[in-house]
């Protein structure tokens, strides 16, 4: 069984992160460029974490629970703009979940299952 990190490992990791951040900044490497080099599968929580981090920077709010209705819409719009900028990803437009969107999806599913 693996054990959790030690207190010394935590401290060392913090120093490492600080030194790496300084080195990357000195070379003009943005966080986006750095993060894009890692191959990590997306999960609901990892996507939310990315958006929460963007919201922290943009709105100075630590939690998505504190976002206003306008901020939620802005973040959705920005996210879909980013996705649209990368057609090579092959990700189609994802509508913001609503009753209308769910109804549309049910019709689309119905059309596909009843030729």
Average pLDDT, the chain: 87
Average pLDDT for 37-42: 85
Q: Is the dihedral of CA 52, 58, 59, 62 positive or negative?
A: positive
Claim: this prediction has a pTM higher than 0.75:
no
Residue 97 has pLDDT above 90, yes or no: no
Residue 33 has pLDDT above 90, yes or no: no
CA distance 94 to 48: 15
DSSP-derived secondary structure for 36-79: TTS-----HHHHHHHHHHHHHHHH--S-GGG--HHHHHHHHHHH
Residue 25 has pLDDT above 70, yes or no: yes
């Amino acid at each position: 069984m693996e054990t959790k990190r030690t207190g010394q490992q935590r401290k060392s990791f913090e120093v490492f992160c600080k030194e790496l951040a300084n080195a990357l900044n000195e070379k003009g490497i943005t966080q986006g460029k750095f993060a894009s080099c890692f191959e990590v599968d997306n999960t609901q929580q990892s996507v939310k974490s990315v958006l929460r981090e963007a919201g922290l920077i943009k709105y100075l709010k630590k939690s998505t629970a504190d976002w206003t209705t306008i901020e939620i819409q802005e973040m959705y719009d920005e996210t879909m703009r980013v996705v649209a900028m990368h057609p090579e990803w092959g990700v189609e437009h994802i509508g913001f979940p609503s009753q209308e969107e769910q109804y549309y999806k049910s019709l689309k599913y119905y059309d596909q299952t009843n030729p």
